[in-house]
Chains A and B, each alone.
Chain A
């Protein structure tokens, strides 16, 4: 009997602790919606299609895609991105050519065509949407970091 009572009090304590943790404003992606109810879905955001290149945060960053890519097929059969970004296609499309790193294999040997490891563009390049960030971004650009130290 005593054992059961102890168990019940511990369980109640845990429940109390858990609920207070959620109500005291701990930052969660649920933004205060209690765990027991369903959060309202945020509105669907729009893919940005401004055609204006964005600044890269560091030199090796794969640039984000400044245009929409709806229904662009990248399959075994076809690569829509390369129909504009491949070396031979840039004259007509006026798109920036994929950089030379995309033609290199892992021994830095430059190949005639885009290297297989760079075939699936979306592995590294993504579009951006007009969403407000859920958490604050504390990234500091290396330029600012250097300036701050001087």
Chain B
């Protein structure tokens, strides 16, 4: 019994001291305590973010699994000679922290969509596709195709080993800053929606 009593006394003592107005606590205690709490909070937050930042999480919804994921599987970003795979969060969730949190808050809207079963068949998905793709194009256009550039950087692109078509296009429009990746590379990962009215498509 003795050790427990000892611990109890210690905790009670600490508690009564912590309960006293802050002016009796040293600035050092406050700073260190605050720091520790902060680290713990961030850690938990990060873990939660890590968990939702995986391909498994994204495709756990059949909207994603049966449509966009199935389509991704035949493309170069799923299987290629380099053995590097781009997964959903690589292209869709910004790696930048503040952007990431902003995106996650938006993702709660998606959860509502799931709960109320707005898009539960392939047909319904196809009907919504133009709108959803539009969100992604706008986002990538606005951030200058940040996610693409996280893997493909203009600085390390050697156009001498690219095909003539690629080299010409990149030299004329990409290096000059006139266009960004998503302007020319739509539909690299999934089937395209109805493209009538989209710039550059007939």
Residue-wise interface mask of A (92-103) relative to B, using a CB-CB cutoff of 8 A (1 in contact, 0 not): 111000000000
Tell me the count of chain B residues lying within 8 A, CB to CB, of chain A.
19
Contact A86 B202 (CB under 8 A): yes
B174 contacts partner chain A, Cβ-Cβ < 8 Å: no
Contact B202 A71 (CB under 8 A): no
CB distance from A79 to the nearest CB of B (A): 7
The contact of A83 among B76, B165, B193, B200, by CB within 8 Å, is B200
Take A71-B76, A77-B195 as given contacts and tell me if A51 and B200 are in contact as well, using a CB distance cutoff of 8 Å.
no
CB distance from A51 to the nearest CB of B (A): 4
Chain A contact surface mostly: loop
Report the separation of the CA atoms of residues A101 and B169 in the bound assembly, to the nearest whole angstrom. Answer: 28
B118 contacts partner chain A, Cβ-Cβ < 8 Å: no
Residue-wise interface mask of B (154-178) relative to A, using a CB-CB cutoff of 8 A (1 in contact, 0 not): 0000000001110011000100000
Report the separation of the CA atoms of residues A71 and B173 in the bound assembly, to the nearest whole angstrom. Answer: 22
Chain B residues with CB below 8 A from A80, complex form: 187
Report the separation of the CA atoms of residues A69 and B201 in the bound assembly, to the nearest whole angstrom. Answer: 17
Chain B, range 122-139, C-beta contacts under 8 Å to A: none
Contact B187 A78 (CB under 8 A): yes
Contact B194 A77 (CB under 8 A): yes
Residue-wise interface mask of A (76-89) relative to B, using a CB-CB cutoff of 8 A (1 in contact, 0 not): 11111011001011
Contact A73 B74 (CB under 8 A): no
Report the separation of the CA atoms of residues A113 and B196 in the bound assembly, to the nearest whole angstrom. Answer: 13
Chain A, range 92-141, C-beta contacts under 8 Å to B: 92-94, 113-114
Tell me the count of chain A residues lying within 8 A, CB to CB, of chain B.
23
Contact B202 A79 (CB under 8 A): yes
Chain A residues with CB below 8 A from B202, complex form: 79, 82-83, 86, 88-89, 113-114
Chain B interface residues (CB < 8 Å from chain A): 74-76, 163-165, 168-169, 173, 187-188, 191-195, 200-202
Chain A interface residues (CB < 8 Å from chain B): 49, 51, 67-68, 70-71, 73, 75-80, 82-83, 86, 88-89, 92-94, 113-114
Q: List 19 A-B contacts (CB under 8 A).
A: A49-B163, A67-B165, A68-B163, A70-B76, A71-B74, A71-B187, A73-B187, A75-B191, A77-B194, A77-B195, A78-B192, A78-B193, A79-B202, A82-B201, A83-B201, A83-B202, A88-B202, A89-B202, A113-B202
Besides A51-B165, A71-B76, A82-B201, 15 other A-B contacts (C-beta < 8 A): A51-B164, A71-B75, A71-B187, A75-B191, A77-B191, A77-B192, A77-B194, A78-B201, A79-B201, A79-B202, A80-B187, A83-B200, A86-B202, A88-B202, A89-B200
